[in-house]
């Protein structure tokens, strides 16, 4: 039954069953705040040449945000103006006061005078300038007001002014202004308003359509480029709800709410908002007659496509596939090739989760180029390159492809894709083991000026590519032993990508990896073990691998072996070649640690073959080092020296400091071992060059603080000096060795037998 107080209610916005948000065709309307701005503008015009250049510039910079932003209280506005030009603030206040405390005709006069600024041979304001447009909008909006609305506006202005006055004069003349009865009433009111108050603060008043659009686009671009600068999820949602309360037809707000829900991983409300948005969009699409039926069908297709994207993001791949099928079917029915291309790209992403399919992607790239979709085509090329790199395709071709796509980017000024491409290159160079190239690319991206000049205040964008590049940079520094620099970079990452933001997982993983490496170098295995759990949470394969390494270091060989075998099978299945090689190397190490060098050899050869095939150069050299070591132990040091010559160069050029040290140590060992058969003269030469190499190894180890290795080197060096009869040097080394040996617990493995 209807409520007792249902009065007759007429809604003018309802025509033909469709509610028009914009029945008056006004995108903007006059509010007291806008009037204050108008006063400011007219004062600005009147002040003219009296203003200093600096003041004028400051004011001009202030104006745009004021014109676009939401309404604010008079006191805040006045403060903002005062900061630029105190003189002007005073005159604005006086004029507002005159208007508010005067009569209605003052306001009418004011608006009549406004249009004068356009007239004259040399008008103060150009008609099509930003200010001119604003002025004309306001004049038009004012002229459209009905009789009662004009009066309402005037009372609103009075209230707006009085609120400010009251705040000012609250402390001084409170007693004079308010008689006891009013005070009583006020107190009652305040007491009763308790529960309502908070709500009132939250909603700072309705936004006009223009203001709302500005707000939405601003927040959306912030969400995309720099999440930390956007409003916090909760408060953004509050603003959006507020906006929707006043205008439920504002479809874009639903979309932003969808994006916002994605930020906090809320499936329910994001689905709800997304569908709501498209329900609304379908309407606007239907209304635009230029496209006819086309506009409306179009949003349907994209609705299904977006739903697929949503499910994909939350990991509901089956659901995503169903939605995608639907989108593809509808797009096919209506011959929308552009939409189909988008669907194809998404199809690739989905299929990727299940199995590799280059064919889809190639199609996608070709077709996208054909339909003139550079963005999509380039994205396709990027993923194609990525996939091919993992699949071990020729590096020169990949680099060529990237170069071509770069051409495309620069041609179409796709700044976002340029970033992605550079980040991709960094990653690929790293994969190939060319750390210097990777370093160079990373620096290029970081020091490049963004093409988007929109965010003047924001120098760089907080996109994924930046996170990737910075992470690589941190790891590269750590590898070279610059731990302070690495932690500095990580600190910067933490600031730029707070822990709950989208790309935070990246740096978290790298942070833990670096810490893990350090702990391993220092021989603090328990610390490393505790980090494994964190790594596993972020990347399970990496986690298992690290676990095996810790087990290996703790001499739990059989457990480590079991784990590594399992990992090997898994990685071979998912075709993660890089990890396969690393696992093979670890397995080989396990074998030679258990003195089964003959078994280790075939494993190493397998690893070497794989590394060569996939052109993972660095891993290949590491394999060669292992191989050489095995050969050394097996008693063919000459052979070992031979193949070491192959590996030593890339290791010294691109390797981590630790690896460099190991390599040099190994070279020295080989030299000594092969010197046994030399003539005495040659032998001394060989030993001396070995000592030099050992010195180099020592500096490398000292850089990364590897005491164990350092101890081994010292021991070896002492023995060499002893052979050469250099007692003084020998004693020095022996003393250093003694110091280190007391510090460190004895190692299970014989000293000379260890390579790493």
Residues 145-204 that bind another protein (CB under 8 A): 145-146, 148-149, 152-153, 156, 185, 188-189, 192, 195-196
Site for another protein in 573-632 (CB under 8 A): none
Contact between 326 and another protein (CB under 8 A)? yes
The rounded distance, in Å, linking the Cα atoms of 135 and 139 is 6
Contact between 3 and another protein (CB under 8 A)? yes
The rounded distance, in Å, linking the Cα atoms of 266 and 174 is 50
- What's the angle, vertex CA 21, arms to CA 15 and CA 24, rounded to 5? 80
Site size toward another protein, by CB under 8 A: 77
Of 303 and 571, the one with the shorter C-beta distance to another protein is 303
Of 282 and 520, the one with the shorter C-beta distance to another protein is 282
Contact between 330 and another protein (CB under 8 A)? yes
Question: Least separation, in Å, of the C-beta of 228 and another protein?
Answer: 28
Site string for another protein, 208-247 (x = CB under 8 A): xx--x--------------------------------xxx
What is the 3-class SS of 671-688, one letter each residue? HHHHHCCCCHHHHHHHHH
Collect all residues with Cβ–Cβ distance below 8 Å to 756 and sequence separation of at least 6: 589, 662
With CB under 8 A as the contact rule, the residue among 182, 279, 559, 638 that binds another protein is: 279
Contact between 49 and another protein (CB under 8 A)? no
With CB under 8 A as the contact rule, the residue among 137, 263, 276, 593 that binds another protein is: 276
Of 145 and 740, the one with the shorter C-beta distance to another protein is 145
Contact between 9 and another protein (CB under 8 A)? yes
With CB under 8 A as the contact rule, the residue among 47, 62, 220, 283 that binds another protein is: 283
Of 314 and 482, the one with the shorter C-beta distance to another protein is 314
Interior/surface letters 362-401, b for 16+ CB within 10 angstroms, e for the rest? ebbbebbbeeebbebbbbbbbbbbebbbbebbebeebeeb
Site for another protein in 638-667 (CB under 8 A): none
Write the DSSP assignment of 537-568 as a string of letters: HH-HHHHHHHHHHHHHHTT-HHHHHHHHHHHH
Of 83 and 333, the one with the shorter C-beta distance to another protein is 333
How many residues does this entry show for the chain?
756
Quick one: which segment of 280-288, 384-392, 508-516, 691-699 binds another protein (CB under 8 A)?
280-288
Distances (CA, A) of 109 to 47, 48, 104, 114, 715: 20, 21, 9, 9, 98
Contact between 268 and another protein (CB under 8 A)? yes
Question: Least separation, in Å, of the C-beta of 115 and another protein?
Answer: 21
Question: Least separation, in Å, of the C-beta of 193 and another protein?
Answer: 8
Question: Least separation, in Å, of the C-beta of 189 and another protein?
Answer: 6
With CB under 8 A as the contact rule, the residue among 51, 72, 104, 275 that binds another protein is: 275
What's phi and psi for 751, nearest 5 deg?
A: -60, -50
Site for another protein in 16-35 (CB under 8 A): 16-19, 21-24, 26, 29-31
Q: Three-state DSSP class for 15?
A: strand
Contact between 352 and another protein (CB under 8 A)? no
Contact between 104 and another protein (CB under 8 A)? no
What is the 3-class SS of 19-86, one letter each residue? ECCCCCCCCCCCCHHHHHHHHHHHHHHHHHHHCCHHHHHHHHHHHHHHHHCCCCCHHHHHHHHHHHCH
Write the DSSP assignment of 119-130 as a string of letters: -SSS-SS-TTSH
Contact 624, 644 (CB under 8 A): yes
Question: Least separation, in Å, of the C-beta of 262 and another protein?
Answer: 13
Contact 471, 506 (CB under 8 A): yes
Question: Least separation, in Å, of the C-beta of 181 and another protein?
Answer: 13
Question: Least separation, in Å, of the C-beta of 329 and another protein?
Answer: 7
Of 150 and 231, the one with the shorter C-beta distance to another protein is 150
The encoded tokens of residue 141 equal 């909006």
Collect all residues with Cβ–Cβ distance below 8 Å to 721 and sequence separation of at least 6: 691, 727, 729, 730, 733
Q: Three-state DSSP class for 281?
A: helix
With CB under 8 A as the contact rule, the residue among 81, 161, 285, 657 that binds another protein is: 285
With CB under 8 A as the contact rule, the residue among 267, 557, 568, 634 that binds another protein is: 267
Question: Least separation, in Å, of the C-beta of 501 and another protein?
Answer: 23
Question: Least separation, in Å, of the C-beta of 110 and another protein?
Answer: 17
- Bridge partners (DSSP) of residue 14 are 19
- Bridge partners (DSSP) of residue 15 are 18
Contact between 73 and another protein (CB under 8 A)? no
Of 58 and 272, the one with the shorter C-beta distance to another protein is 272
With CB under 8 A as the contact rule, the residue among 33, 78, 280, 552 that binds another protein is: 280
Question: Least separation, in Å, of the C-beta of 323 and another protein?
Answer: 5
Q: State the Cα torsion 62-64-68-74 to the nearest 10°.
A: 30
With CB under 8 A as the contact rule, the residue among 230, 323, 414, 520 that binds another protein is: 323
Q: Is 716 exposed, middle or buried (0-12, 13-18, 19+ CB in 10 A)?
A: buried
The encoded tokens of residue 302 equal 């994209």
With CB under 8 A as the contact rule, the residue among 74, 92, 253, 304 that binds another protein is: 304
The encoded tokens of residue 685 equal 């030469």
The rounded distance, in Å, linking the Cα atoms of 551 and 515 is 17
With CB under 8 A as the contact rule, the residue among 56, 87, 238, 316 that binds another protein is: 316
Q: State the Cα torsion 130-133-138-144 to the nearest 10°.
A: -160
Greatest distance between any 2 Cα atoms in the chain? 117
Contact between 303 and another protein (CB under 8 A)? yes
Contact 620, 608 (CB under 8 A): yes
With CB under 8 A as the contact rule, the residue among 62, 72, 286, 437 that binds another protein is: 286
Contact between 414 and another protein (CB under 8 A)? no
Question: Least separation, in Å, of the C-beta of 237 and another protein?
Answer: 17
What's phi and psi for 645, nearest 5 deg?
A: -60, -35
The encoded tokens of residue 661 equal 């040290």
Quick one: which segment of 12-20, 348-356, 417-425, 644-652 binds another protein (CB under 8 A)?
12-20
Quick one: which segment of 9-17, 129-137, 486-494, 603-611 binds another protein (CB under 8 A)?
9-17
Contact 97, 161 (CB under 8 A): yes
């Amino acid at each position: 039954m209807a409520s007792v107080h249902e009065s007759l209610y007429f809604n003018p916005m309802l025509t033909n069953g469709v509610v028009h948000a914009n029945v008056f065709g006004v995108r903007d309307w006059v509010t007291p705040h806008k009037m204050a701005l108008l006063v400011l503008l007219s004062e600005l015009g009147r002040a003219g040449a009296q203003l200093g250049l600096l003041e004028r510039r400051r004011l001009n910079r202030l104006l745009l945000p004021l014109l676009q932003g939401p309404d604010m209280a008079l006191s805040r506005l006045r403060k903002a103006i005062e900061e630029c030009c105190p003189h002007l603030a005073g005159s604005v206040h006086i004029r507002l006061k005159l208007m508010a405390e005067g009569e209605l005709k003052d306001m009418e006069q004011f608006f009549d005078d406004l249009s004068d600024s356009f007239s004259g041979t040399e008008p103060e304001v150009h008609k099509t300038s930003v200010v001119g447009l604003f002025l004309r909008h306001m004049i038009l909006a004012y002229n459209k007001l009905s009789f009662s609305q004009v009066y309402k506006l005037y009372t609103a202005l009075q209230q707006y002014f009085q609120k400010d006055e009251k705040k000012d004069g609250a402390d001084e003349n409170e007693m004079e202004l308010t008689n006891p009865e009013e005070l009583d009433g006020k107190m009652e009111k305040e007491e009763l308003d308790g529960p309502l108050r908070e709500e009132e603060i939250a909603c700072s008043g309705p936004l006009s359509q223009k203001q709302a659009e500005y707000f939405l686009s601003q927040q959306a671009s912030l969400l995309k480029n720099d999440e930390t600068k956007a409003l916090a999820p909760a408060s953004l949602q509050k603003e959006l709800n507020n906006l929707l309360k006043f205008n439920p037809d504002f479809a874009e707000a639903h979309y932003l709410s969808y994006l916002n829900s994605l930020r906090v991983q809320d499936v329910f409300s994001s689905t709800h908002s997304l569908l709501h948005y498209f329900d609304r969009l379908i309407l606007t699409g239907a209304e635009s007659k230029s496209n006819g039926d086309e506009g409306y069908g179009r949003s349907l297709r994209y609705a299904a496509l977006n739903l697929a994207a949503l499910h994909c993001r939350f990991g509901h791949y089956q659901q995503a596939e169903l939605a995608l099928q639907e989108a593809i079917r509808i797009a096919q029915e209506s011959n929308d090739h552009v939409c189909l291309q988008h669907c194809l790209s998404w199809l690739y992403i989905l299929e990727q989760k299940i199995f590799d399919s280059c064919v889809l992607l190639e199609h996608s790239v070709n077709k996208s180029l054909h339909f003139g979709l550079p963005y999509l085509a380039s994205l396709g090329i990027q993923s194609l390159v990525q996939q091919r790199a993992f699949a071990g395709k020729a590096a020169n071709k990949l680099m060529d492809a990237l170069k071509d796509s770069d051409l495309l980017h620069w041609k179409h000024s796709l700044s976002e894709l340029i970033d992605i491409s550079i980040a991709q290159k960094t990653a690929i160079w790293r994969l190939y083991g060319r750390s210097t190239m990777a370093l160079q690319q990373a620096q290029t991206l970081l020091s490049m000026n963004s093409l988007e000049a929109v965010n003047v205040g924001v120098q760089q964008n907080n996109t994924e590519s930046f996170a990737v590049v910075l992470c690589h940079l941190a790891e590269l520094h750590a590898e070279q032993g610059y731990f302070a620099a690495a932690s500095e970079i990580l600190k910067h990452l933490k600031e730029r990508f707070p822990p709950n933001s989208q790309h935070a997982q990246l740096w978290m993983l790298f942070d833990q990896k670096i810490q893990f490496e350090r702990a391993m170098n220092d021989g603090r295995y328990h610390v490393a073990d505790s980090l494994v759990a964190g790594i596993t949470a972020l990347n399970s394969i990496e986690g298992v691998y690290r676990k095996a390494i810790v087990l290996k270091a703790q001499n739990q060989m059989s457990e480590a072996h079991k784990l590594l075998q399992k990992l090997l099978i898994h990685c071979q299945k998912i075709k993660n070649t890089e990890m396969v090689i690393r696992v093979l190397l670890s397995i080989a190490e396990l074998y030679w640690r258990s003195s089964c060098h003959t078994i280790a050899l075939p494993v190493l050869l397998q690893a070497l073959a794989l590394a060569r095939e996939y052109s993972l150069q660095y891993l290949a050299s590491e394999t060669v080092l292992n191989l050489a070591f095995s050969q050394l132990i097996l008693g063919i040091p000459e052979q070992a020296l031979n193949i070491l010559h192959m590996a030593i160069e890339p290791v010294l050029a691109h390797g981590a400091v630790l690896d460099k040290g190991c390599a040099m140590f190994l070279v020295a060992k080989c030299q000594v071992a092969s010197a046994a058969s030399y003539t005495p003269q040659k032998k001394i030469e060989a030993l001396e060059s070995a000592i030099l190499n050992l010195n180099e190894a020592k500096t490398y180890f000292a850089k990364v603080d590897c005491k164990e290795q350092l101890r081994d080197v010292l021991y070896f060096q002492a023995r060499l000096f002893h052979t050469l009869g250099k007692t003084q040097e020998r004693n020095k080394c022996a003393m250093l060795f003694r110091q280190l040996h007391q510090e460190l617990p004895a190692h299970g493995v014989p000293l000379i037998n260890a390579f790493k």
